[in-house]
Amino acid sequence: METTIQERPVSAQATAANADPAKYVPQDFEASWTQKWEQDELYKTSPADERPKAYILDFFPYPSGDGLSVGHCRNYVPTDVLSRYYRMKGYNVLHPMGWDAFGLPAENAAIKMKTNPARLIAQYSANYKRQFRLIGISFDWSREINSSTPEYYRWTQWIFLQLYHAWYDPRLNAARPISELENELGVSGAGNIPNPHAEVTAEQWNSFGKKERSEFLSNFRLAYRKASFVNWDPVDKTVLANEEVVDGRGWRSGALVEKKLLPQWFFRITEYSERLINDLDTIDWPDHIKLMQRNWIGKSVGAQVDFVTDAGPLRIFTTRPDTLWGATFMVLAPEHPFVEKLVTPQHKARVNQYVKESKAKTEVERAEEGKEKTGVFTGSYAVNPVNDERIPIWVADYVMLTYGTGAIMAVHAHDQREFEFARKFKLPIRVVIQPQGETLDADTMERAFPHDGVMVNSGPFDGTGADVAVAQVTQWLEGKGIGAKRINYKFRDWGISRQRYWGTPIPIVHTADGEAPVSPESLPVELPDVNSYEPTATGESPLATIPEFVNVTLPDGTPGRRETDTMGTFACSSWYYMRFADPQNQARAFDPKEVNYWLPVDTYVGGAEHAVMHLLYARFWTKVLYDLGIISFVEPFQRLRNQGMILSPQLKDGKYEKMSKSKGNVITPDEMVEQFGADALRAYEMFISDFTMATPWQTDGLAGTFRWLTRVWNLLLGAEPNPDLPAATDEQIKSLRRSLHQTLKKVEDDVNDFAFNTVISSLMSLTNVLIRAQDTATYPTAVWDNALNTLLLMLAPIAPFMAEEIWSRWGKAYSVHQQKWPAYDAAAAKEEAFTLVIQVNGKVRGKLELPVGVSEDEAKEKAFAEPGVKKWMEGKTIERVTYVPGRLMNVVVK
RNA sequence: GCCGGGAUGGCGAAAUUGGCAGACGCCCAGGACUUAGAAUCCUGUGCCCGUCAAGGGCGUGCGGGUUCAAAUCCCGCUUCCGGCACCA
């Protein structure tokens, strides 16, 4: 098929030749207003004061070489509109911007281009900044921050030390100074701490040397180092957090992640599981994000039970203690320490082989093979403590060491995985839960029955119903001392070590006596300025190869080696929103007065992809700093909203694609501004669809908002009223004011509700009303001027350039952006009449204009007299009439 | 597999949460202005029957249901997009 080249019908490109001052040519004035606003520091935020505050924040962007696309503008424009709106409402507004500048993409790009990541970031962020200015975003640039500067990461390190020097006391449900733990250990050991991470008596503790104490405290510190199997990305040559592994691959490199045993730094976020779940109820976030966090934390309530084995008590976790009597064997994870102890000589070879193979598999391989269960018998047996039955112990890789206790009891009849396993290995199956209304038969069952029912074959519990079974059995186990209630969480501590150069150095020195934290006064531990910083394949940070960095002598003369891992960038973004409250502070991370005034963030906007990473980590840091008395709030982000993605306008295989540089379908704000101006772009970003919805870009739609702004321009700067037109009647004047104030209400409500698309459509409607009014009658000057003035003020947050230009052409005092938001008059907005929709048997048969407050009888009388309605009622009997005042009447006839 | 969220004209979408489906735009068609085009303005525009009429029927992914009344609530599917994934 032949394609014709479409001419671009609408365009406002300025050419010097046809410059007409009456015409709307945004390119003629937008840039100079940006300059003036900046000169005048129009958007500079004041420190804490008496006014109510509004903190409106976008997710901390990672500046990339590609710059911003029109898709990125989708969140920056609405937050800017909100900020401008709040300024006009008299709020003290904080609307800042900065750069999440550390991390792999910049470092990898810099290595490739043989340059320095700092230089790249400077270049990329300058481009972002240029684009933000281009589209009129009102950031207070005096508060700009860059997480890779020593002035910033000094305080990231400081917060790291706060965590390092703290532990979580389950008795207080809060973090406390580690020194208080040390005191307690010296007096009473760990004996008074419920479920301590490690046991110690006071005598033992007091006999410990420096190094032993240091190592012991690692079991409690909120920032700790531990050798563990980690997700190793062989392409980026670094460790990844669990959240950064997607389908077994590194989220940035896409490489298959390997398991590697390395000493790593962690933050003990799991201590906050319960609070992270509970406090979700106190914040205004999208439900699906809350749900994702809950699922990620993965709380399950059940019981732990000790089975008797030759190697000692074997502890399992189950959410179904009511099925204990149905256990027909046990399964250990291949890495479980009991495997070695329990395997009998004649099974040793097979078991060792199986364990070796499992350990070699990646997570993906394990999962892929997951449908077909594998496993081997150890040769040993365990005794089920509830019925003294002897059951075989197997090893199978569908059991994970990292969840629960790494060991399970297998109840084949009531768990699908175990059912499959039992069928495959011809193990016995026993029904211990009978569903209501049917009878399960262990021999003929084709699938497990994992649901509720009545307990059978369960000794003293036969006949117990599902509603109470778990609680009663758990209590019984506790009474007999063979088990206890236990809560398990899926998620694990947050691994922050990165074996890379471009990140915040971890402020720890390793000495012969153990770890020595860098003193706060000697921060920052600066990243050395070096030429070569390529990652090593060994799992060692490139910093380890720099002797000047590594070798240190502590103030007391002790020689040490600096920690050479750096922190993953989620550390930087876990507190940047606090730094914005007091970004220049050289003496501390922030002044508590400022941070407690501005925080929590009132409205936080960004993509849903950070649901379980940044948003969980930031909440965790906030809670720790709260516990330590540094800040006075427990949740960082009061209201969260996620923008929908903007897709490429081209259909491919019946779908709209994501914009990406590799597909060559990226549309930039630069080209759109060049063609239509920034204001039309802003309006279209709002108008395109519901804020949360993914939607394709349509440049023709942008042409539509440009046309609308042109009509507004012509209306507001238009000619004097036509003297030939009749004077407006009282009714017309009332009607005009009604439209005006209804729109005002709608715009305010919708801005607050993030319904930006309908903000634009209602302003378009108002524009149409005003243009029509202008062509119909001459309105009193006061009425007309007030209408135009109100429209312009409503437009100011949306189209800031145009609003300022018109304001200035009207000869009003600079600046429109320092004006008050117009006052809403509810009386003026009130309707005097309404349209009554008349239905007969549910079908619309007529409409009637009636005064508000008309009586039901009168409405009926008039409705039944309507010819269109009458026609359908003739010869029928009225069965019922439903009347919804102000709306609708439905007559049911037969 | 489990858990979320969607599906509305040719296109992007609205719909006060049970009360006129399609606001507001785009596209398209016809007209005005113009030497002509662009821009602008006016009119029309869910589908079908009907002479472009009057009028009527159908219509919010599909199939049922509740209700005087369903895009909206309930049950069962299809499909797309996210998330989780042997979690005991």
Predicted pLDDT at A366? 66
Predicted pLDDT at A876? 85
Name the residue with higher pLDDT: A79 or A867. A79
Nucleotide nearest A417, from its CA to each C1': B86
pLDDT confidence bin for A370, thresholds 50/70/90: low
Å between A771 CA and B20 C1'? 26
Are A573 and A618 within 8 A, CB to CB?
yes
Predicted pLDDT at A245? 81
Nucleotide nearest A767, from its CA to each C1': B24
Residue range A596-612: mean pLDDT, rounded: 94
Predicted pLDDT at A446? 79
Query: For residue A700, is pLDDT > 70?
Result: yes
Å between A763 CA and B23 C1'? 12
Predicted pLDDT at A363? 65
Rounded Cα gap, residues A664 and A646, in angstroms: 15
Nucleotide nearest A405, from its CA to each C1': B88
Nucleotide nearest A367, from its CA to each C1': B86
Q: How many residues does chain A have?
A: 894
pLDDT over 70, % of chain A: 96
Q: How far is CA A154 from CA A107, A160, A161, A344, in A?
A: 20, 10, 11, 56
Rounded Cα gap, residues A748 and A796, in angstroms: 13
Å between A837 CA and B18 C1'? 16
Greatest extent of chain A over all pairs of C-alpha atoms, in Å: 110
Predicted pLDDT at A80? 98
Rounded Cα gap, residues A387 and A326, in angstroms: 10
For A502-528, write each residue's pLDDT tens digit.
Answer: 999 999 999 999 999 999 999 999 999
Predicted pLDDT at A251? 78
Query: For residue A1, is pLDDT > 60?
Result: no
Predicted pLDDT at A836? 93
Closest by CA to A598, choosing from A642, A631, A573, is: A631
Is the Cα dihedral A705, A710, A713, A715 positive or negative? Answer: negative
Predicted pLDDT at A256? 81
For A558-578, write each residue's pLDDT tens digit.
Answer: 999 999 999 999 999 999 999
Å between A693 CA and B14 C1'? 14
Query: For residue A35, is pLDDT > 80?
Result: yes
Residue range A433-451: mean pLDDT, rounded: 80
Query: For residue A259, is pLDDT > 90?
Result: no
Nucleotide nearest A762, from its CA to each C1': B24
* Angle between helices A30-39 and A117-134 in degrees, nearest 10: 110
Structure tokens at A486: 């236990």
Closest by CA to A482, choosing from A385, A389, A562, is: A385
Lowest mean pLDDT among A14-18, A171-175, A487-491: A14-18
pLDDT confidence bin for A364, thresholds 50/70/90: low
Nucleotide nearest A841, from its CA to each C1': B68
Predicted pLDDT at A371? 61
Residue range A544-554: mean pLDDT, rounded: 93
Predicted pLDDT at A866? 87
Å between A434 CA and B75 C1'? 27
What A357-362 contacts at long range (C-beta under 8 Å, 24+ apart), as own/partner pairs, is A358/A334, A358/A397, A359/A259, A359/A334, A359/A335, A361/A397, A362/A248, A362/A256, A362/A257, A362/A258, A362/A259
Are A474 and A483 within 8 A, CB to CB?
yes
What is the H or E stretch that residue A82 is in? Answer: helix A73-88
Residue range A463-473: mean pLDDT, rounded: 87
Are A21 and A14 within 8 A, CB to CB?
no
Rounded Cα gap, residues A756 and A77, in angstroms: 10
Nucleotide nearest A300, from its CA to each C1': B87
Å between A700 CA and B10 C1'? 15
Rounded Cα gap, residues A774 and A722, in angstroms: 8
Burial class (CB in 10 A: 0-12, 13-18, 19+), A655: exposed
Closest by CA to A103, choosing from A618, A568, A571, is: A568
Å between A656 CA and B78 C1'? 21
Which residue places its CA closest to the C1' of nucleotide B70? A842
Residue range A850-873: mean pLDDT, rounded: 90
Which residue places its CA closest to the C1' of nucleotide B11? A698
Structure tokens at A662: 């590799």
For A627-675, write each residue's pLDDT tens digit.
Answer: 999 999 999 999 999 999 999 988 877 778 888 888 888 999 999 999 9
Lowest mean pLDDT among A298-312, A420-434, A586-600, A661-675: A420-434
Predicted pLDDT at A362? 67
pLDDT confidence bin for A743, thresholds 50/70/90: very high
Å between A755 CA and B10 C1'? 26
Closest by CA to A857, choosing from A881, A877, A879, A835, is: A881
Å between A885 CA and B43 C1'? 35
Query: For residue A262, is pLDDT > 60?
Result: yes
Rg of the Cα atoms in chain A: 34
Residue range A449-477: mean pLDDT, rounded: 87
Q: What is the pTM of this model?
A: 0.93
Name the residue with higher pLDDT: A596 or A108. A596
> For chain A, what is the total number of helices (H) and then of strands (E)?
29, 37
Rounded Cα gap, residues A81 and A489, in angstroms: 41
Q: List the alpha helices (DSSP H) in A317-404.
A: 338-342, 348-360, 363-368
pLDDT confidence bin for A369, thresholds 50/70/90: low
- Mean model confidence pLDDT for chain A: 91
Predicted pLDDT at A10? 37
Which residue places its CA closest to the C1' of nucleotide B5? A288
Q: Which nucleotides of B are covered by protein (CB under 7 A)?
A: 3-5, 11-16, 19-21, 23-27, 38-42, 55-58, 68-70, 80-88
Å between A190 CA and B4 C1'? 43
